[in-house]
Chains A and B, each alone.
Chain A
Amino acid sequence: MQLNKTDLKKALFAASCTLLAGNSVAQDWDFDTAIMYYGEADRVQALEGIFQAKKTLKDDKEFSAKLVVDSLTGASANGAVQQATAQTFTTPSGNGQYTANTSETPLDDTFLDTRVQISAQWSQPLAENYVVSTGANVSNEYDYQSIAFNGVLGRYFNNKNTTASLGLSYALDSVDPVGGRPVGLSTMVVDNGQFSDEAAYRSAFDATRQTGGEDGKNTVDVILGLTQVINRQWITQFNVSLSEVDGYLTDPYKVVSEVDASGMATQQRYENRPGSRSKQAFFAQSKYRFESSVWDISYRLTNDDWGINSHTIESRYRFLFDNNSYLEPHIRLYQQGEADFYTPFLREGDAVPEFASADYRIGKLNAYTFGIKYGKKLKSGREYGVRLEYYNQASQDVGVEAPGGLNSLDLYPSLDAVILQFDYKF
């Protein structure tokens, strides 16, 4: 390949950096900030901010710290089926009620939370051809706390053209749901005036709450990774990951409707999921530099012992312009099969299963994202970007026959969201 003068200068600079055995001097702090708005039509609205600081120290040592704050408001589908008549539900706390109108997806509009996450990561060369990275993060939200540790060991081969890595992560989460953890598949108590007084209602509500048992979960992740430089313009990455989760994996705020032969919901049962989950994933990524563009394409395959499998294809194509700006269209396609215990509703008269959930997120679904990002590098290394994306998620029919009036209602509603993000590096 013929090198022009600029390419040659760059090549010589890159070579001299490499031959000097890495960076021997400390650099200033680099800051990476972003704010993102996520909004679903008539449902959840989220605002998330990220502030990250990174410092490269002598001898290629690197320290970074990150603060993430996000705030959620709005309504979230509670799992119950639509009905031809209005429905009333008890809020998670048991202190109030919310309703769903005729032919409306029942939404719990008491959804409100703020989450703060702080993380730190340290990485450094360990010996010739080895690099190690270790970190921790803690997060806190109203009903959920998490602490996690991770470590990654990397080994270079073939002139650093091949990197093999092994990563481990352990997360310890605790859940303290509003109103307590419901007894799995117990019936939601709704005060329709049948109770003699408040104490009688409260006693019935409390009987649907767990008093002991598991109130947290542990997650162990292992990732084996391989990065391979193919040529001057092409780099690839392959990961295999295993994840073992044990503990309380049920969503305490979701219910499953029990319907009779006419399709009418006779009661709402709190969902119940298994207490463990084993997940596997394969991830492959290719990044190719063309004359004035970069194509990043990736594929992910996952499956788990809940029966959920998924395929994700993602493409980012960055057009590089002469004025140090870029335009990057983004496409993401996602397909997921449903969990074994997913069901849009339960049938009255059937035996109540051990596990059941009508949470659309573990149902069968197809989703796509289309987006575009514009970014520009400014003088003195500053950079800003703006990103706009549209996300559509369509729940799919899992082949359960809908009795009576349920036939004419939307059992598998879709979801649309808009994502808007600004980021700034300095």
Chain B
Amino acid sequence: MKKIIMLFAAVAILGVTGCSSLGVQPWERDLLATDEMSLSAGATDLALDDHIYFSKEGTSGGRGFAGGGCGCN
């Protein structure tokens, strides 16, 4: 668990501070603004997949809340 938190902390610090040179100007968001580049593109597919894998495998979540809400596991 410690490793996971440290890894995330390193990424977060890099992201918020060290990576300020990364990114684009507001007028360069044309491609990022398209549906297919959205991180939640195919949200319906992902929701259906989550339900399948939640009920067939021993782990869940990661992308979103691991949650309860289903007696399938």
Evaluate contact between B48 and A139: CB separation under 8 angstroms: no
A300 lies within 8 A of B62 (CB): yes
Is the Cβ of B44 less than 8 Å from the Cβ of A279? Answer: no
- Tell me the count of chain B residues lying within 8 A, CB to CB, of chain A: 53
Contact B71 A320 (CB under 8 A): no
Q: Which residues of A contact B27 (CB under 8 A)?
A: 11-12, 14-15, 18
Closest to A172 in B: B68
Is A34 part of the contact surface with B, judged by Cβ < 8 Å? yes
Q: Which B residues lie within 8 Å of A205 (CB)?
A: none
B30 touches A11 (CB 8 A): yes
Residues of A with C-beta under 8 A to B22: 158, 161-162, 228-231
Contact A304 B45 (CB under 8 A): no
User: In the bound complex, how far is the Cα of B73 from the Cα of A339, in angstroms?
Assistant: 14
A237→B64 CA distance, assembly (Å):
12
Chain A nearest CB, measured from B26 CB (Å): 4
Q: Which residues of B contact A171 (CB under 8 A)?
A: 67-69
Binds B, one of A95-103, A191-199, A262-270, A280-288: A280-288
Query: Which residues of the partner chain B approach A421 to less than 8 Å between Cβ atoms?
Result: 45, 48
Question: What residue of chain B has the Cβ atom nearest to residue A34's Cβ?
Answer: B44
Given known A162-B16, A164-B12, A226-B15, contact A15–B26 (CB-CB < 8 A): yes
Interface size, A (range): 35 or more
Q: Which listed residue, A241, A415, A419, touches B66 by the CB 8 Å rule? A: A241
Q: Compute how far the CA of A326 lies from the CA of B1 in the bound complex, rounded to whole angstroms.
A: 40
**A387 partner residues in chain B, CB cutoff 8 A:** 45
| Chain B facing A: main interface SS | loop
Q: In the bound complex, do residue A302 and residue B23 qualify as a contact, i.e. CB atoms below 8 Å apart?
A: no
**Are B65 and A415 interface neighbours, CB within 8 A?**
no
Q: A172 CA to B67 CA in the complex, in Å?
A: 10
Which of B5, B29, B63, B66 contacts A240 (CB under 8 A)? Answer: B5
Which residues of A121-147 are within 8 A (CB) of B?
A: 137, 139, 141, 143-144, 146
User: B4 and A282: CB pair below 8 A?
Assistant: yes
> B66 near A14 (CB under 8 angstroms)?
no
Asked if residues A115 and B70 are in contact (CB atoms below 8 Å), the reply is yes
A12 to B58, CA, bound (A): 47
Which residue of chain A lies nearest to B63 when distances are taken between CB atoms in the complex? A283
Contact of B62 with A283 in the complex, beta carbons under 8 Å: yes
- Residues of A near B1 (CB, < 8 A) are 280, 303
Asked if B47 and A50 make an inter-chain contact with CB atoms under 8 angstroms apart, the answer reads yes
Docked-complex contact A361 and B39, CB < 8 angstroms: no
Residue of A nearest to B26 (CB): A18
Known: A232-B28, A238-B11. A391 touches B37 (CB 8 A): no
As a 0/1 sequence over residues 294 to 324 of chain A, the CB contacts with chain B under 8 angstroms (1 = contact) are: 1010101111100010101000101010000
Docked pose: A233 CA to B32 CA in angstroms: 7
CB distance from B56 to the nearest CB of A (A): 6
* B29 surroundings in chain A (CB, below 8 A): 14-15, 18, 232
| 4 shortest interchain CB distances as A-B pairs | A161-B23, A144-B71, A15-B27, A283-B62
Add 20 more A-B contacts to A50-B44, A175-B71, A241-B61 (CB < 8 A): A32-B44, A38-B52, A139-B70, A141-B70, A144-B71, A158-B19, A158-B23, A159-B24, A221-B66, A229-B24, A231-B23, A233-B31, A239-B62, A240-B8, A289-B32, A303-B1, A303-B4, A316-B42, A318-B36, A362-B58
Interface CB pairs A-B, < 8 A, 19: A11-B27, A15-B29, A36-B48, A144-B70, A161-B22, A171-B69, A224-B8, A230-B22, A231-B22, A232-B31, A238-B12, A239-B63, A240-B5, A240-B8, A279-B66, A310-B57, A326-B36, A391-B52, A393-B57
Chain B contact residues, CB within 8 Å of chain A: 1, 4-5, 7-8, 11-12, 15-16, 19-20, 22-34, 36-37, 39, 41-45, 47-48, 51-53, 56-59, 61-71, 73
